[in-house]
Structure 1
Amino acid sequence: MKAWRIAIEKAALDRSCEGARKSGGHWHNEGVPALYAAMTVELAVLEKFVHTEEVEEEPLVLVAIDLPDDPSFGLDLRREDLPEGWDSLDDVGSAAVFGTAFLKRREHLYMRVPSVIVGEGVNFVINPAHHAYDKVKLSVARTFRFDPRMFKR
C-alpha cells in the first residue's frame, strides 16, 4: 500500500522521525516518534499547506511511503472511534493523547484516521517503534514546490 507526504528534503528519509519526536503533533505528544502520511498526493499537499505560513525556504520533496500490504498491520478508525474534539482546531490534546497511547502500545504499524482538513480523506499515523517498521520503505518521488498562487489568500 502506498502513502504520501511532503517533507523538507534534508529530513525526508529520516526513518527515526526525530523531528516529530522533538515537536509532537496532532496525533502524538512530544517525546514519542511518529510518521505522518496521507492516502493521496493531493491530501499530502493540503496537509503540508495548512502547516506552512508561506513558500518554504528549504527545498521540499514528495515522499512515497510503501507500507506492507498485510491488513493486520493497520488499525482503521472512523470518526465515531475517536475522542470528542479530535478534529477541532481548538483541541486541547484529545487526539495527541489518543495517538500517543496507540503508538506506545505498538500493536499496529499504523492507524488510518480521517483528515481534519477533508473529512473524507484518510491520513496515516505510522509507528516507527513497531516491529514491522523495517518493512516500510521511504523514497523521494520528486522535488515539490507549492504553486505560489496558493499563498495569495
Structure 2
Amino acid sequence: MIVYRLSRGKFKNDLSGRGAELAGGRWNSKGVAVLYTSESIALCTVEIAVHMPLGIVPADYHLIQIEVPDDAPLLELSSGDLPADWKTFPHANSTQEIGDAFVLGGEYLVYKVPSATVQGTYNYLLNPRHPGFRDVRITTTTPFEFDKRLFVKES
C-alpha cells in the first residue's frame, strides 16, 4: 500500500511520529507517537491547508511517498464506531482516546480513519511502536509547492 504525507524539508525523512507526539492531534494525545498519512496527495494538501492561517502559504514542504507492506495488520474504523463529536474543531478527546488505544494496543500497524476535512476519504495512522513498522519505507521525497489560491484571503 502506498500512502502520502507532506512534511517540512527538515523532517522529510522522519517517520518517528515525534511531531504528533509533541503536539497531539485529532487521533492522538500529546505523548503518544503516531505517523499521520493520507490516501492521496490531494488529501494531504487539504489536511495541511486547514491548519494554516489564511494568507500564509506553507513553504519548504516535501511530498513523501511511503510504502507500507500489503500484508500489514490493518484496522479500519467503521462509521458506526465514530463518536458523535469526531469531526469537531478543535478536535475532541474522544477521537484521541480511540487513536491512543490503537497505538498502545500494539496489535495493528495501520489504522484507517475517515478524514474530517474531506468527506469520503481516509487517513492512515501508522504505529511506530508496532514491530512491522521496521518494514515501512519512504519510496520518494520531492519538493512540494502549494497552490497559492488555497491560502489567499478574499477581498
Q: Which category describes the TM-score, using the shorter chain as reference length?
A: over 0.9
The equivalences for 1:4-153 within 5 A come to 4-53=4-53, 54-57=56-59, 59-70=60-71, 73-153=73-153
Q: Does the CA-based 8 Å contact 2:25-2:91 persist in structure 1?
A: no
Q: Does the CA-based 8 Å contact 1:61-1:140 persist in structure 2?
A: no
Distance in 2 separating the partners of 1:80 and 1:108: 20
- The superposition leaves residues 8-55 of structure 1 with CA deviations (integer Å, 9 ceiling, x where unpaired) of 111121122222111111100001100001101111111111112221
Question: TM-score by structure 2 length?
Answer: 0.91
Distance in 1 separating the partners of 2:152 and 2:58: 14
The runs of at least 4 aligned residues of structure 1 exceeding 4 Å deviation read none
TM-superposed deviation, 1:105? 0.2
Work out the number of aligned pairs and report it: 151
Q: Does the CA-based 8 Å contact 2:27-2:96 persist in structure 1?
A: yes
Distance in 1 separating the partners of 2:148 and 2:81: 37
Q: Does the CA-based 8 Å contact 1:110-1:124 persist in structure 2?
A: yes
How large is the Cα RMSD of the aligned pairs?
A: 1.4
- Alignment gaps of 5+ in structure 1: none
Q: Does the CA-based 8 Å contact 2:17-2:36 persist in structure 1?
A: no
Name the CA shift for 1:11/1:89 in 2 (closer, same or farther; >3 Å): same
- The superposition leaves residues 86-133 of structure 1 with CA deviations (integer Å, 9 ceiling, x where unpaired) of 112244311111101111001100100111011200111110000100
Question: TM-score by structure 1 length?
Answer: 0.92
| 2:66 aligned counterpart, secondary structure | strand
